[in-house]
Amino acid sequence: MSYMLYAREINPRDLLSILQYESSDVLRIDYLSVIAIDREERQIWRRVLASRRLYYSRIKWVYSYLTGQEPSVDQLPFNRPESYHAGVAEQKQADQQRQQKLHALSNQATDHVVVERLNELLERQQYEKNLIQQINEQ
């Protein structure tokens, strides 16, 4: 009897666990772009927002690539932060957790297309982190 060995691939449910934060994440960034202290910070948040929307679009693409289906997930609610600075801190914490999850998935992936897309997403996260760092330096 012969067995075919298949490459171990990431679990699509792990992608859904990232996607459940999409709505609250995008809304928080949008909210921060509105209440930001100055015009320059608002512009930075808008750039982060545009990047984040593309990020989630790419996560959905990877999910569809792996499963052949569009992702369907219950979104977590958006809770308005107590202040601008609290919102920035919440965003940083959420971004760090998201980066850790994505990094773990990238290490598990074996399909070259998935690896490439996940690495692109990690680069996008670094780009966003650099943008947010500019807010702290002001």
- pLDDT exceeds 70 at position 97: yes
Residue-level pLDDT at 10: 87
Averaged confidence pLDDT in the chain: 90
**pLDDT digits over 16-31, tens only?**
999 999 999 999 999 9
Q: How confident is the model at residue 135 (pLDDT cuts 50, 70, 90)?
A: confident
Residue-level pLDDT at 69: 94
Residue-level pLDDT at 1: 46
Written out in words, the top-level CATH class of the domain with range 12-137 is mainly alpha
Domain edges within the chain: 12-137
- pLDDT exceeds 50 at position 125: yes
Q: Which amino acid is at 82?
A: E
**pLDDT digits over 41-90, tens only?**
999 999 999 999 999 999 999 999 999 999 999 998 999 999 999 999 99
User: pTM of the full predicted structure?
Assistant: 0.88
Residue-level pLDDT at 4: 42
Beta carbons of 128 and 95 less than 8 angstroms apart:
yes
**pLDDT digits over 102-121, tens only?**
999 999 999 999 999 999 99
- Cα–Cα distance list, 63 to 28, 49, 97, 101 (Å): 24, 21, 19, 15
Residue-level pLDDT at 138: 56
Return the closest-CA partner of residue 59 out of 107, 20, 100: 20
Cα Dmax for the chain = 69
Residue-level pLDDT at 65: 94
